[in-house]
Amino acid sequence: MRWGVVTPALAAVLVLGALWSFGFARFNSQVRRPAPAPPQADGIVVLTGGADRIETALRLLAEGHAPVLLVSGVGRGTELGEMARRVHLDPAALGARVTLGRTATDTVGNAAETAAWARANHVQRLIVVTAGYHMPRALLEIGHALPGVALHPAPVQPPAMRGRLDFATARLLASEYDKLLAVQIGLTRLIRGGDGT
């Protein structure tokens, strides 16, 4: 009798574990794959929180991929001049084209901030810059907030994602995959707060 109760439960756990492992392997492969250069767009948004994101977005802006840029989730005290100097660009030439968004504290906040800015700037095609591992969730959240707007990913690969995965990086990827699953099944509110991306 006890085996009759335990076996279906154990089987369910094993099946769910296998499905999660398969999905995670696909996710890991997808987010580390190089992406083509984004097409011409009406705007660029970069979600702050990781290495090289802002620099990549500023370069795309300077190269003419879009006329305007939103830097979403900027911390207090951070200014455009400091950002532009990192990539050897003249902040005076970028000032009228760059908006610093300071209200977002997580991915859902980034999406809301992006949606308000995109509507105000009549953006119909948007380049999204964030870390490769964060891109699937970012695209989902922004897509929910901006239905009908074409989103073009421009993922940035942090140094830790460019070689063999260590334990800390694998744990980060697993956590991000779990958050993505939560968004896909409509549980965004359960993962809000403190994710910083």
pLDDT tens-digit readout, 57-82: 999 999 999 999 999 999 887 788 88
The pTM (predicted TM-score) of the whole model is 0.86
Contact assessment for residue 89 and residue 97, using Cβ atoms and an 8 Å cutoff? no
Q: Is the pLDDT of residue 14 over 90?
A: no
For residue range 162-196, list pLDDT tens digits in order: 777 788 888 999 999 999 999 988 876 655 544 44
The H or E element containing residue 151 is: strand 150-153
Question: Mean of the pLDDT values across residues 12-28?
Answer: 88
Instruction: Write the burial class of residue 176 (CB in 10 Å: 0-12 exposed, 13-18 middle, 19+ buried).
Output: buried
**Domains delineated in the chain:** 43-191 (3.40.50.620)
Angle between helical axes of 135-145 and 2-31 (0-180°, round to 10):
90
Q: Is the pLDDT of residue 161 over 90?
A: no
Query: Cα(165)–Cα(97) distance, rounded to whole angstroms?
Result: 38
Query: Cα(174)–Cα(31) distance, rounded to whole angstroms?
Result: 12
Q: Is the pLDDT of residue 87 over 90?
A: no
Which of residues 8 and 48 earns the better pLDDT score?
48
What is the C-alpha radius of gyration for the chain, rounded to an integer number of angstroms? Answer: 19
Question: Mean of the pLDDT values across residues 49-64?
Answer: 90
Question: Mean of the pLDDT values across residues 23-52?
Answer: 90
